[in-house]
Amino acid sequence: MAEKNVLIVYAHQSAGSFNAAAKDVAVEVLTAQGCKVEVSDLYSMKFTAVATAEDITGEVKDSTHFSYAEETKLAWQEGRLSNDIMAEHRKLTKADIIIFQFPMYWFSVPAIMKGWIDRVLTLGYAFTPEKRYTQGIFKEKKAMLSFTTGSQESMFSSNGINGDMNVTLWPLQNGILHYCGFQVLAPQIFWAPSGITSEARTTMLELWRTRLQGLQGETPLSFVPSDSFDGEHGFQLKPELQLKHAHQEFGLTVGTHLGKPLPPNNQIKAGV
């Protein structure tokens, strides 16, 4: 991990929270390994969550039929994005590893973090129709989710009331991180820390500390390569690959499941 640049995108309102403690452990451990760690503390920064024309300096190309994606792409190309977006671009460009630290809200990220995603992962800068998934712009970078839940682990199982956590994570890990090309590391999930003893919370943080020691050497989660899909026919899995996996017990991934049972822990553990 020596001399790696790490960006922690952090979203919690309280410096006394478990999320704050997890963020602090990451800063401590990674810094001790020689990494340069930068934290975007979104609430302290009062980061703007809404994506509007105010993100663009100067005139927009088409105010009548305003397209945020196209207008910000043009503004990025011309250096006319708002200062807060440009500052996050600079951090993200330098980073080798990005850790998103947050409490899970409504099966997703907090609004302020979703705003960071909406505004900072700008069309052209973070992705294009030609450069996405395994051909993505950030394919040399690693990213991961580190988050707390309000529910116990059993409630996020395949027969639990909240449903399979693997399904919950697919839109975040495939639809955002992998879409932009990131090598996605397995998530660090802190199951319901508010409902356990202080000793158990300490144990959680120690396990996180241990994992951070070898984070750079971890194998990323598995996604189907972009060239496995036929772009001339609606980006469907190529027939020869469908045939190859026709008799497999499980689907390829949570999303590309081919009508089969979901592969166990596909979004939670690498190599499973």
Say which CATH number the domain at 195 has: 3.40.50.360
Mean pLDDT of the chain: 96
Per-residue model confidence (pLDDT) at position 254: 96
State whether 270 and 183 are in the same domain: no
State whether 208 and 259 are in the same domain: no
State whether 172 and 54 are in the same domain: yes
The model's pTM: 0.96
CB 48 within 8 A of CB 87: no
Whether 43 has a pLDDT exceeding 80, the answer reads yes
- Report long-range pairs for 158-167 (Cβ below 8 Å, ≥24 apart): 158/262, 162/107, 164/262, 165/189, 165/267, 165/268, 166/254, 166/262, 166/264, 166/265, 166/266, 166/267, 166/268, 167/254, 167/262, 167/267
Per-residue model confidence (pLDDT) at position 2: 61
| 126-158 residue pLDDT tens | 999 999 999 999 999 999 999 999 999 999 999
Mean pLDDT of 113-131: 97
State whether 212 and 257 are in the same domain: no
Residue found by looking up tokens 């508010």 in the block: 194
- Give me the number of domains the chain comprises: 2
CB 224 within 8 A of CB 253: yes
Per-residue model confidence (pLDDT) at position 90: 98
Mean pLDDT of 12-21: 97
CB 215 within 8 A of CB 4: no
Tokens of 247: 């008799």
| 62-105 residue pLDDT tens | 999 999 999 999 999 999 999 999 999 999 999 999 999 999 99
Mean pLDDT of 226-239: 92
Domain that holds residue 150: 5-221
CB 138 within 8 A of CB 165: no
State whether 237 and 117 are in the same domain: no
Least confident of 107-111, 233-237, 242-246, 268-272: 268-272
State whether 241 and 164 are in the same domain: no
Given 197, 221, 245, which residue is the final one in a domain?
Answer: 221
pLDDT band at 271 (very low <50, low <70, confident <90, very high): low
Whether 1 has a pLDDT exceeding 60, the answer reads no
State whether 168 and 216 are in the same domain: yes
State whether 144 and 271 are in the same domain: no
State whether 95 and 17 are in the same domain: yes
| 86-98 residue pLDDT tens | 999 999 999 999 9
State whether 271 and 214 are in the same domain: no
Per-residue model confidence (pLDDT) at position 129: 94
| 239-270 residue pLDDT tens | 999 999 999 999 999 999 999 999 999 999 98
Per-residue model confidence (pLDDT) at position 231: 86
Given 180, 195, 221, which residue is the final one in a domain?
Answer: 221
State whether 247 and 192 are in the same domain: no
State whether 74 and 167 are in the same domain: yes
